[in-house]
Chain A
Amino acid sequence: MFKKWRSRWRLGALLPLMIWLMTGCSQENLSTLIPAGPVAREQLWLMKFSLGVMLIVFVVVIAVFFYVLVKYRKRKGQTGIPEQVEGNHTLEIIWTVIPFIMLFVLAIPTIMYTFKFEKVYSASEAIQVKVTGHQFWWEFEYPQYGFTTGQDLYIPKGKQIQFELTSKDVIHSFWVPAIGGKRDNNPGLINKMTLLAEKEGVFKGKCAELCGPSHALMDFKVIVLDENDFNTWSQKMRAKPEPMDLSPLAAKGKELFTKNSCISCHAVGGNGGVLGPNLTNFADREMVASIRKNTTENVKAWIKDPNSIKPGNTMFKGYSPYPNFSDDDLDALAAYLESLHVYKK
């Protein structure tokens, strides 16, 4: 008997341990628990509110649970038969009606926000961004500005952004946890979603729907600039810039880029295909292939063997046989790509 008590104590001691273990993990710019916009904040509020309501139930259940286990455990030498109770209508009505009331309380803000988050803004009220999911990268088209980017989504602080979500292949799901909850990118269909970022910074975005081997690596960045910076950036992007005065190495890279048909999928400035990410502002990106730091070494490693970095990606699969670039070629290509600056802060 005493032993059982002790084991229960040990279990109780686990709780603060677990709380300790769980703190300090949430990362700003990624966690839903540190919201950076009204959508994420209101969603967090609803999460907390529902957790609070649920905790009332939990506390009652756990209190009764432990009381019963301690008080009514069979003792040594205990005989006789406990009273065979059939039930108790009053009690049963109580624990039917009270949950109903609690759910009713919960339902009101739920319905309110369900409708609120589906509000669609017109072109004059919000910046429109068409988000297209691809295996395994993101395309962001700005129809009001007439340009497209890949991987990095630039938005101004404090402005409504009206997203139109779709996919070119399988279902993806567009998720920027710190700014707001997700919506699916369904091929052949268009979903709408509105977000607003209140803080400047670089936020992490994720694909949330299993979309193939590199689903785990289908990250993107949301770069929130203040409005002036955003305008500067968008003006530069709108000019569809291509780098001038390339170094000889980079010029060779540009030649290779064209000769090997990279350009038939990847646009730079105003020229090029749309099957792969637009590379106009490649050198501005923090990451290459969204998962490695954007360094010359990583760019070269990526071009050399993309499949080892992002298994199943279409650059490797769609380009068959994949070219075997020499080290010199890789140096040149990397130099060219690293010259594709549009906006430096």
Chain B
Amino acid sequence: MAGAVKRYSGLMDWLTTVDHKKIGILYLISAGIFFLFGGVEALLIRLQLFFPEQNLFGENTAEIFNQLITMHGTTMIFFAAMPLIFALMNAIVPLQIGARDVAFPYVNALSFWLFLFGGVLLNTSYLLGGAPDAGWTAYAALSTKAYSGSGVDFYVLGLQIAGLGTLIGGINFLVTIINMRAPGMTFMRMPLFTWASFVTSALVLFAFPAITVALVLLMFDRLFNAQFFEVAGGGNVVLWEHIFWIFGHPEVYILILPAFGIISEVLSTFSHKRLFGYGTMVFATALIGFLGFMVWVHHMFTVGLGPIANAIFAIATMLIAVPTGIKIFNWLLTMWGGHIRFTAASLYAIGFIPTFVIGGMTGIMLTLPPADFQFQDSYFVVAHFHYTIVGGLIFGMFSGMYYWWPKMFGRMLNETMGKISFWFFFVGFHMTFFIQHWLGLDGMPRRVYTYLAGQGFEKGNFISTIGAMLMGVSIIVMMINIIVTQMKKADAPADPWDGRTLEWAISSPAPEYNFAQLPRVRGLDALWIEKMAGNKGMIPAEPLAEIHMPSPSIMPFVKALGLFIAGYGFMFNGNTKATSLPVVGFVFEHYILAAAGVAVFLFGMFLRSVYDDQGFHIPIEEIHVDQEENA
């Protein structure tokens, strides 16, 4: 049986892989690249606001600035934060639950390629007539064809394609966590990161269909002259805001919950203590996820929905503070009485706590509708959500990155550089965003490309931009760290941090099949239990046998490419007068390109349905070789 399936190497290996660990790395690399794009956009935004009344980008500064803020927001949320989360979920969740892969490895690869092609499509807008310029929230009227450039088409189709990938990724992880747990790994023994991934996946499942619908409506308005948001045709602009935030608020928790999970793991490991109040933490995670669907109107207090709607959603939002507060105190008590080690990973987790508490405090302040009438759409909001998303999510993700880097790559990141990078990031972050609270209170609206001198905004913006530069320095140090580390030999030990969970029971990086024999889990912190019992590793739950593996396939890549091409077909239909080649014009004009792209995708689905792929088996001898190498 073995060898019946071709196992690729080199570039083809990466294009065809269905291995969750490699897909995790692919997610991480792409997220990293998009993060740099988003970061450069952020720096350009801050430079333009460094001094009042600047025109850094020439006479089109206003338009370019709106493109930058839109792309910064969209890229950071959908193409940096989301894939960072999926990177760590892919790399770690199957290991933490003692599984050999996710439930649907082929679909997992499809998720990644759809996300990547969606992101690439969005970013090509810079070269093809300008990036989207209606803000990452793309509020209608402004995002309709009459008031914005062709960039919004890229926003609509790029997000649609990437969103498809995210949605099926979410389903994949739900099924994986429900079905693929090792013997003994009950739900209430799952590590908190896995729990957070589980709840996040459920949120993805329910939230992403909303944005799909919103994007379809906007796509019909823009490409096929529908009138969902056209006031003159009976459309309603507030409709977009509702659908967008019905997705958008759960999205916030989709982003933050995995970070909560990572913080829980890292603080527990580096305090050398069991997580305080595990059951409550699980309950709080689920509760936050649940409540996350009932609060979207707090983004819309000024829309004019009336006092009853505003009051109800205000109270619902306040409730979220309770489980979040529980988490903060449980983390503090996890550290209480421990032996806290300060590493790059734990510094990010520790720095997370005060930062996120500030973000939570301003969150509560924002949830009071009368006060929100002043905060809404001012720099106060900008400060708040950067405290939660950067101070929360990114701190969490960076912590997880330093923590799991050896498990993903078999190498330890340099600790000194990691700590230098942390301090630059921490100080730079607070410098950039703390002062923005005051800018907002003093009357500076958000999303302004410039501000007139003499309004009291100069000092705050100046400081903020300096802070952003410090964050830039931090990222440069981090990149150097990564490059230097990756050039070294892969010699990380299996368990460098004295870990507690299953992923530390296997070699770094994990072998293709993860566990030669599936482990028997005897409680929470499965590896820790065995360590305390004096065992060298996990007790196997099965005899050593041939391991059944899924075959690699190029089809996920091809299918995503199909939708990518179809995206251009739809966007440029009826919009190609610029081209001088009649053939090209013909192909674009008659939906031929769009149809061809969709056909590639459908054909891929057809092939997948009729071709019975049995996978392949890894023989016992190969497993023995691996084990000797690692011994």
Complex Cα distance, B368 from A114, in Å, reads 8
Assess A114 versus B307: contact at CB under 8 Å? Given A61-B357, A82-B271, A84-B274: yes
CB distance from A190 to the nearest CB of B (A): 8
Q: Which residues of A contact B280 (CB under 8 A)?
A: 87, 92
Assess A22 versus B325: contact at CB under 8 Å? Given A107-B318, A181-B376, A208-B378: no
Within 8 A of B (CB), among A27-51: 27, 30-33, 40, 42-44, 46-47, 50-51
Assess A92 versus B447: contact at CB under 8 Å? Given A21-B459, A30-B442, A182-B302: no
A31 x B442 contact (CB < 8 A): yes
B304 x A184 contact (CB < 8 A): yes
Complex Cα distance, B49 from A81, in Å, reads 51
Q: Is A320 an interface residue (CB 8 A)?
A: no
Q: Which residues of B contact A165 (CB under 8 A)?
A: 304
Interface size on B, residues (CB 8 A): 96
B326 x A177 contact (CB < 8 A): no
A110 x B445 contact (CB < 8 A): no
Within 8 A of A (CB), among B124-175: 133-135, 139, 141-142, 147
Within 8 A of B (CB), among A146-183: 165, 167, 169-171, 173, 175, 177-178, 180-183
Per-residue 0/1 for A108-137: is the Cβ within 8 Å of any B Cβ (1 yes, 0 no)? 001101111110000000000000000100
B333 x A103 contact (CB < 8 A): no
CB distance from B92 to the nearest CB of A (A): 23
B142 x A61 contact (CB < 8 A): no
Q: Which residues of B contact A7 (CB under 8 A)?
A: 423
Q: Is A295 an interface residue (CB 8 A)?
A: no
B302 x A40 contact (CB < 8 A): no
Q: Which residues of A contact B333 (CB under 8 A)?
A: 85, 88, 91
Complex Cα distance, B351 from A7, in Å, reads 14
Q: Is A291 an interface residue (CB 8 A)?
A: yes
Complex Cα distance, B248 from A325, in Å, reads 49
Main secondary structure of the interface of B (DSSP, over half): helix
Per-residue 0/1 for B315-333: is the Cβ within 8 Å of any A Cβ (1 yes, 0 no)? 1001101100110111011
Q: Is A210 an interface residue (CB 8 A)?
A: yes
B321 x A18 contact (CB < 8 A): no
A103 x B371 contact (CB < 8 A): no
Complex Cα distance, B315 from A68, in Å, reads 33
Q: Is B335 an interface residue (CB 8 A)?
A: yes
| CB-contact partner of A181 in B276, B279, B370, under 8 A | B370
Q: Is B113 an interface residue (CB 8 A)?
A: no
| CB-contact partner of A32 in B279, B335, B369, B374, under 8 A | B374
Within 8 A of A (CB), among B63-111: 63, 66
A57 x B314 contact (CB < 8 A): no
Q: Select the stretch in B339-347, B573-581, B615-623 that faces chain A.
A: B339-347
Assess A82 versus B62: contact at CB under 8 Å? Given A61-B357, A171-B139: no
Q: Which residues of B contact A171 (CB under 8 A)?
A: 139, 141-142, 237
Within 8 A of B (CB), among A231-270: none
CB distance from A163 to the nearest CB of B (A): 11
Q: Which residues of A contact B8 (CB under 8 A)?
A: none
Assess A207 versus B445: contact at CB under 8 Å? Given A82-B338, A187-B231: yes
Assess A173 versus B361: contact at CB under 8 Å? Given A84-B273, A181-B373, A186-B237: no
Q: Is B372 an interface residue (CB 8 A)?
A: yes
Q: Is A271 an interface residue (CB 8 A)?
A: no
A57 x B325 contact (CB < 8 A): yes
Chain A residues touching B, range: 35 or more
| CB-contact partner of A188 in B237, B306, B357, under 8 A | B237
Assess A68 versus B340: contact at CB under 8 Å? Given A50-B364, A186-B303, A210-B139: yes
Assess A211 versus B377: contact at CB under 8 Å? Given A72-B336, A85-B276: no
CB distance from A275 to the nearest CB of B (A): 15
B310 x A68 contact (CB < 8 A): no
Complex Cα distance, B62 from A214, in Å, reads 7
CB distance from B342 to the nearest CB of A (A): 7
Q: Is A201 an interface residue (CB 8 A)?
A: no
Q: Is B358 an interface residue (CB 8 A)?
A: yes
A177 x B443 contact (CB < 8 A): yes
Q: Is B448 an interface residue (CB 8 A)?
A: yes
A65 x B278 contact (CB < 8 A): no
Chain A residue nearest to B64 in the complex (CB): A213
Q: Is A202 an interface residue (CB 8 A)?
A: no
Chain A residue nearest to B240 in the complex (CB): A171
Assess A30 versus B443: contact at CB under 8 Å? Given A83-B337, A99-B325: yes
B322 x A106 contact (CB < 8 A): no
Complex Cα distance, B376 from A53, in Å, reads 20
Complex Cα distance, B374 from A191, in Å, reads 16
Q: Is B441 an interface residue (CB 8 A)?
A: yes
Complex Cα distance, B455 from A21, in Å, reads 15
Q: Which residues of A contact B61 (CB under 8 A)?
A: 311
CB distance from B355 to the nearest CB of A (A): 11
CB distance from A272 to the nearest CB of B (A): 24
Q: Is B449 an interface residue (CB 8 A)?
A: yes
Q: Is B277 an interface residue (CB 8 A)?
A: yes
Q: Which residues of B contact A32 (CB under 8 A)?
A: 374, 441-443
B370 x A87 contact (CB < 8 A): no
Q: Is B477 an interface residue (CB 8 A)?
A: no
Q: Is B588 an interface residue (CB 8 A)?
A: no
Q: Which residues of B contact A285 (CB under 8 A)?
A: none
Within 8 A of A (CB), among B209-251: 231, 235-238
Chain A residue nearest to B342 in the complex (CB): A73
| CB-contact partner of B456 in A27, A86, A91, under 8 A | A27
Complex Cα distance, B443 from A219, in Å, reads 11
Q: Is A324 an interface residue (CB 8 A)?
A: no
Q: Is B452 an interface residue (CB 8 A)?
A: yes
Q: Is A215 an interface residue (CB 8 A)?
A: yes
Complex Cα distance, B66 from A331, in Å, reads 35
25 contacts between A and B (CB under 8 A): A25-B459, A26-B442, A47-B368, A62-B354, A68-B332, A69-B340, A69-B350, A74-B341, A78-B339, A81-B272, A84-B274, A87-B330, A92-B329, A95-B326, A103-B322, A110-B368, A111-B315, A170-B141, A181-B371, A182-B377, A186-B237, A187-B237, A189-B304, A208-B302, A219-B452
